[in-house]
Chain A
Amino acid sequence: MRSKRSLLLKVITYAIILMWIIFTIGPLYWLLSSTFKPSSEAIGYPPTLFPKNPTLQNFKNLFTASRFNFYSYGHSFIIGCGAMFISLLVAMFAGYGLSRVHFKGKQIVMTTILLFQMVPILATLIPLYQTFSRYGLYNTHLGLMLIYATQTAPMNTWLLKGYFDTIPYSIEEAAQIDGLSRLATLYRIALPIAAPGLSASTIFAFFKAWNEYMVALTMTSTVRPYTVELYRFIGEQGDVDWSLLGTAALIAVLPVFILFSFFQKYFIIGMSGGAIKS
């Protein structure tokens, strides 16, 4: 009786997981398959599940004939890394301070920081644009880095605070008795222990910046990240050439998937240790 029920449980579990995996992969597969179809096949009726005449023509067209600017991936990468660095730096200090230093108004500061998470970025766009134009941050990597770092800093502060909270006081006290200053304790003792949490924040901050579109469209002219370039490309191509569009999209996604597959393990571990235990 019991084993029958647990077998049924197993079957259902696997079935649901499998269905979700198909659901997850489906759109990605559709994108992938279209990149290998000649454009006559991609827009022909009826659609084909597998490319009938697989071709690399789309890649060739994208690289040679189209006006797609591949530097945009470079801009995205620089901006992503910068935003990640700034966000992590400020979140690390704040997270440590909120976790380890007892001071008046701490609770208010913590809540305030979290509340910033709900500011819609669109609502701040025009004033930011004015400020940026005035101080020469318009169309710079730094400008976008600062905005994106602002977007992820609250969440990362909380994440890292949660992580620092799990470090037993005794370890740190021992370190301080050894004569290490507060900053040195943070650097030498707390950070290594909080490394998984740190890696989660890193990924979080990087991908937020990597994927953003609206701010980038408004704040850049020549250093446009790939999302803006891709959107411009849609505008230029319309629904003309799904396969070419799909190819450009795939090129944007693939390196990120590979990178992320390496780091996703730390991401889950990181989120699980840190995620806000208030």
Chain B
Amino acid sequence: MNLKKVILLIAVAALLGTSIFAAGAKEDVSKPKEVTLTIYARAYTFAQDAPWVYAKAELQRRHPDINFTFIEEGFGWADMRTKFLTSAAGGSPPDVMMTDIIWLGEFVDSGLLVDVTDRVAKWDEWDDVVDAYKDATYWNGRVYGTWLNTDVRVLVWNKDLFRAAGLDPEKPPKDWNELHRMAMQATNAPHYYGFGFPGTLEDESVMKFYANLYSNGGQILTDDNKKAAFNSPEGVEAMSALIDLIKAGATPTSIVSGKASDIDNGVFQGKFAMASMTKAYGLARDLIPGITPEEYKNRFGLAPIPHAPGGVPATMSGGYLLTVPTGSKHQDLAWELITIAAGAENQFKYTAARGYVPTFKSLMARGADYVEVDPFFSVILDALPSAFFRPSIPEWTEISAEVQNVMQALILGRMDVKEALDLAAKNVDKILSE
């Protein structure tokens, strides 16, 4: 009977289907000796020995009885956040998450990160962390991770383009007025431009504005983090300093879709004479394979970000914590991996190679060792006292997006600076009042 056959076939298919589902259900309990650790981090951190290659080997050495498998997932900045949130929503987060400091409040408030207060107390390197940085790892009085690195933005200039423009390659601009004048002089459109800053919707874009804002005596939010404060007269001047460069033609409007990495790379590729950035040496080495410290010193320069005329030096800091997500099945091993990866020894290798900033007191004292690797490291260290952090409150991502939005309108000349900042402030106040 043919009908029977059809029924039989479908039954078999259905059985097959369900067995596939059933087979997929958890199989982790089998052998405790097999441990898989998943790491979510920025893609570039996997490309060199420190931190992960060293940390993985060391963890394996310490636990000869365990057979480790490491899954390394490298992302860009925005994708890393999205992927982490999605994975947490689906109930399969990684074991180690590289958390941008500005996401801390949001992640902790959502219950995504493991409280490691007790663990850091037992970690012998914790006392070595610089107090200011130690404080930043706290949220509501508890610790949620430790620094992989912090960073600080400095001005980088391309000496070849300075020479071509008849500028003294050893004299960077000191304040906004000098920056404006020199950027104009160094521009040779469309071959290259005097100054570059990113305009896409990302936090790095508005960091350039925030640095100017602090330099001019303003601040992003009020002290209690309840209202916007960036639309002050100081804020208008700070933003205008950037926008005027566009109006003058020293920065192309095409930066509106330029990511920070595009702009930063542009300095080393001769597309921009100047830009403010972090990890300069790391980029230079990525882009110009085999560049020696000597060559680097001859072709590029580092200096503090030009300050407001009559203002104070100011720059922005950020950086990443290594954290353990709450869904991790091997929290102890994950934390152990983190303490190795972000311990002083590894942090030295990592930060020196990329031009990042260490967070340990013992490393701060090793300035000479850093300069041996990165000839401009003293410029970076000198900028630290003038560094500001963005508030890592849960609403930060949405707040900053409002400023990014109006900044694009300003770059394209569609709005007046005051009007734009007021609009953004209005929206930010609304977010903060909810």
Contact = CB atoms under 8 A, between A and B. Distances in A.
Contacts of A184: 2
A221 B74 contact: no
Q: Which of A43, A137, A235 has the most CB of B within 10 A?
A: A235
Contact of B44 (A132, A136, A236): A236
A232 B78 CA distance: 12
Contacts of A132: 90
A135 interface: yes
Contacts of A217: 79, 83
A137 B24 contact: yes
B90 A138 contact: yes
Contact of A222 (B46, B71, B75): B71
B385 interface: no
B262 A45 contact: no
B73 interface: yes
A182 B44 contact: no
Contacts of A235: 43, 75-76, 79
B74 A236 contact: yes
B92 interface: yes
Contact of B190 (A45, A140, A142): A45
Nearest to B192: A45
A130 interface: yes
Interface string A5-43: 000000000000000000000000000000000000001
Interface in B61-111: 71, 73-76, 79, 83, 86, 89-92
A181 B71 CA distance: 51
A217 B79 CA distance: 9
A217 B46 CA distance: 19
Contact of B6 (A133, A142, A182): A182
15 contacts: A129-B90, A133-B91, A136-B23, A182-B6, A183-B5, A217-B79, A218-B83, A218-B86, A221-B38, A221-B71, A236-B44, A236-B74, A236-B76, A238-B261, A239-B259
Nearest to B1: A181
A43 B268 CA distance: 12
Given A45-B190, A133-B91, A181-B5, A239 B25 contact: no
A183 B9 CA distance: 10
B31 interface: no
A269 interface: no
A138 B94 CA distance: 13
Interface string A134-168: 11111010100000000000000000000000000
Nearest to B44: A236
Contacts of A136: 23-27
A140 B21 CA distance: 12
Contacts of B11: none
A126 interface: yes
B90 A67 contact: no
Contact size range, A: 20 to 34
A171 interface: no
A67 B46 contact: yes
B47 interface: yes
Contacts of A240: 261, 265, 269, 286-287
B365 interface: no
Contacts of A129: 86, 89-90
In this complex, the interface size class of chain B, counting residues with CB under 8 Å from chain A, is: 35 or more
B330 to A, nearest CB: 16
A222 B191 CA distance: 41
Contacts of A182: 2-3, 6
Contact of B2 (A130, A140, A181, A232): A181
B74 to A, nearest CB: 7
B29 interface: no
Contacts of B132: none
A239 B272 CA distance: 14
Contact of B21 (A135, A183, A232): A135
A43 B89 contact: no
Nearest to A66: B47
Interface in A224-278: 232, 235-236, 238-240
Contacts of B92: 133, 138
Q: What 8 A-B pairs are tightest by C-beta distance, nearest first?
A: A136-B24, A181-B2, A235-B76, A133-B90, A238-B261, A129-B90, A133-B92, A236-B43
Among A45, A126, A183, A240: residue with most chain B CB under 10 A: A240
Contacts of A183: 2, 5-6, 9
A218 B71 CA distance: 16
A55 B86 CA distance: 42
A133 B92 CA distance: 6
Interface string B7-38: 00100000000001101111100000000001
Contacts of A130: 89-91
Nearest to A136: B24
A54 B100 CA distance: 42
Nearest to A234: B76
B259 A67 contact: no
Contact of B20 (A43, A67, A142, A238): A142
Contact of B265 (A67, A140, A221, A239): A239
Interface in A113-134: 126, 129-130, 132-134
Interface in A191-240: 217-218, 221-222, 232, 235-236, 238-240
Given A45-B190, A130-B90, A238-B265, 19 more contacts: A43-B271, A126-B89, A129-B89, A135-B21, A135-B24, A135-B25, A136-B24, A142-B20, A181-B2, A182-B3, A183-B9, A217-B79, A217-B83, A221-B38, A221-B71, A221-B73, A232-B43, A239-B259, A240-B269
Nearest to A126: B89
Nearest to B24: A136
A258 B215 CA distance: 59
B76 to A, nearest CB: 3
A46 to B, nearest CB: 9
A133 B191 CA distance: 50
